[in-house]
Amino acid sequence: MFPSMIAGFALSFSLILAIGAQNAFVLRQGLRREHVFPLCMTCAVSDAILIAAGVAGFGTLAQAAPWFETVMRYGGAIFLTWYALRSFQSAWRGGAMLDTDAGQRTSLRAAMLTVLAFTWLNPHVYLDTVVLIGSISAQYDDRMGFAIGAVSSSFVFFFSLGYGARVLSPIFARPRAWQILDVLIGIVMLGIAMKLVIM
């Protein structure tokens, strides 16, 4: 069981390591220390559901419903573009989102809806967690161990990202740092959106 768990952990961790829309949002909320636990838990549990679906053999959804991938791609692109524009607007205003004492705090409901959209409207999530992890898990006799390892990596990654962001808090005590972060997040979001449209 142990070798399968290590393989699942390593694969899943490598897939979610790159900074994407979901990771950038969790990082930003971690820096602001807003709703970190529920956001990290939502991301990890969502990954667990998708990984379990893939390992259980549901990776053929896109083949069974060809329209699903197209709807997810364009819906995700629209959402990511909207969020990118919001990030650029925040940067233009001079790091206004840092001012948490002036009514700028993100409500739990808004934060949860945003992270759920980043998670479930991203077709790459389905390709990585359901299709790729699901297909690779089939190569192992101990698929349960592989799945446990993959799910564990999601919990380790997201909670490390959310709570580890606090280490960077001294840097982000300055509005200029938040402006730079918002610009970078906006660029990441737009890049992913464009990739979704032209893929």
The residue among 43 and 12 whose pLDDT is bigger is 43
Who contacts 45 (Cβ-Cβ below 8 Å, separation ≥6)?
none
The residue among 175 and 116 whose pLDDT is bigger is 116
SS3 139: coil
The residue among 53 and 93 whose pLDDT is bigger is 53
- Give pLDDT tens digits for 134-146: 777 877 788 889 8
Who contacts 2 (Cβ-Cβ below 8 Å, separation ≥6)?
145
pTM: predicted TM-score of the whole model, two decimal places? 0.72
Mean pLDDT (whole number) for 72-83: 77
Contact 2, 145 (CB under 8 A): yes
Contact 70, 196 (CB under 8 A): no
Q: Locate the domains of the chain by residue range.
A: 2-198
Cα 13 to Cα 39, 149, 191: the distances in Å are 18, 10, 22
Dihedral, CA atoms, 14, 122, 148, 57, nearest 10 degrees?
-120
